[in-house]
Structure 1
Amino acid sequence: MLNAAQLLLRAGEPVLPLSRHVPFFMQRLVIEKAMARLFSQPLAVGEFDVLQGRWMRIEVTDLGLAWSLTRAGKGLRLAQHSPVDVCIRGNWKEFLLLASRQEDPDTLFFRRRLIIEGDTDLGLAIKNLVDSLDSDLMPPRLWQLIGWLGAAAKAEQDGLHTSVSRA
């Protein structure tokens, strides 16, 4: 029996790929505003300074989405294309598991479910930064939603691994 979170995840499967058709300037506007709000405190104390003058690319391969990110001025800046120092690539559910802390970041990277290419020292510094961010920085309802969906994705993943190992 599927719970509401699992139903929402399944409903997202055909809908999320449509987000690749949203013009980049709109993606940038929404993402930069969200990052400015969510990461205002870590930005203020210099936690993202590792990206100053450096570019990280995030690719959500199954959705056909990609953004390049750098630290610029007082915030984080997004670009559609830029020379990158490091690229982190994976499917959207892997990023959900990472964001919801349902899966250990090291596990995701060592099992190659998330891939780091390029400057691996920078990639490791970013992985450690993301892992150290306090969930209290997020609005409580947003954190609850991410946790709820992440737990459903984890249960789905564990169910798949269990059924595959029994086969």
Structure 2
Amino acid sequence: MLKAPTLLPLSVNIIPSLSLVEKKIPLRFKEKLIKVMPKILQPSLRFVPFSAQKSLLIPALHSIFSEAITEGDFEFLQNKWLKISIIDLQLNWWISFDQEQLIMASPKDNIAEDVSFSANGDDLVLIAGRKQDPDTLFFQRRLKIEGDTELGLEVKNLIDAIDIEQLPSSIHDLVDFGANFLQNTQDELAEEKSEH
């Protein structure tokens, strides 16, 4: 009797080989890939139903922030709403905290956020991969924090405290690869520009 092949985690199958390939990709191609990726992803992401987004995002956030949730670090978000916007992908999420867990509101709920964080996807990947810190991107106007200043500072401090090593290995490796790819490409472009 034939057994179906088991799938290895994404990090085992793909990520190491992508890292090797990335070094061989011409700089112009990498630059164009970074520019067109949101245009490729955005139309299809519009059709992902809210329920699917919620079923992926809330468990991921609970995994990332499990220690902070257990320690009560999210209580400041009780009865408050945080809007997270990925500008270039036209994605918006409203997150709050209730009964010791993160919750998410549907865009149809017309929630008025107390604070909002917005940035392009590549900048958020750089933050997640620890290649850029939120303060730097904020002062470069690449990360916008609007609304309740104190609430925004609390959220930023939680983001700063994320330990990428706590992510499941496949997600950690994917975020790490994406952040390295973006940072390496930006560094190469800056170096090329300084030589001219």
- TM (norm. structure 1) is 0.86
CA distance in 1, matches of 2:65, 2:101: 9
Q: Which runs of no fewer than 5 residues in structure 2 stay unpaired?
A: 1-23
Q: State the match for 1:101 in structure 2.
A: 130
Structural mapping, 1:46-61, within 5 Å = 46-61=72-87
**Secondary structure at the residue paired with 1:21?**
coil
Percent of pairs with identical residues: 35
Q: 1:157 aligns with which of 157, 180, 186?
A: 186
Single out whichever of 157-166 and 67-76 deviates more from structure 2: 157-166
Q: State the match for 1:114 in structure 2.
A: 143
CA distance in 2, matches of 1:94, 1:78: 23
Greater radius of gyration (CA): 2
Q: State the match for 1:16 in structure 2.
A: 41
Q: CA deviation at 1:114?
A: 0.8
> CA 1:166–1:89 in 2, change beyond 3 Å: closer, same or farther?
farther
Q: What's the CA shift string for 1:20-74, capped at 9, x where partnerless?
A: 2201121112111222233222211112222111111011111010001101112
Q: State the match for 1:125 in structure 2.
A: 154
CA distance in 1, matches of 2:146, 2:190: 26
Matched letter for residue 58 of structure 1: I
Matched letter for residue 149 of structure 1: G
**Secondary structure at the residue paired with 2:117?**
strand
Is it true that 1:63 corresponds to 2:118 in the alignment? no
Q: State the match for 2:54 in structure 1.
A: 28
Q: 1:75 aligns with which of 76, 79, 101?
A: 101
Single out whichever of 135-144 and 112-121 deviates more from structure 2: 135-144
CA distance in 2, matches of 1:20, 1:50: 31
Q: State the match for 1:2 in structure 2.
A: 25
Q: 1:45 aligns with which of 64, 71, 93?
A: 71
Q: CA deviation at 1:163?
A: 4.4
Q: Which runs of no fewer than 5 residues in structure 1 stay unpaired?
A: none
Q: CA deviation at 1:124?
A: 1.6
- TM (norm. structure 2) is 0.75
Q: State the match for 1:86 in structure 2.
A: 115
Give the aligned length.
Answer: 164
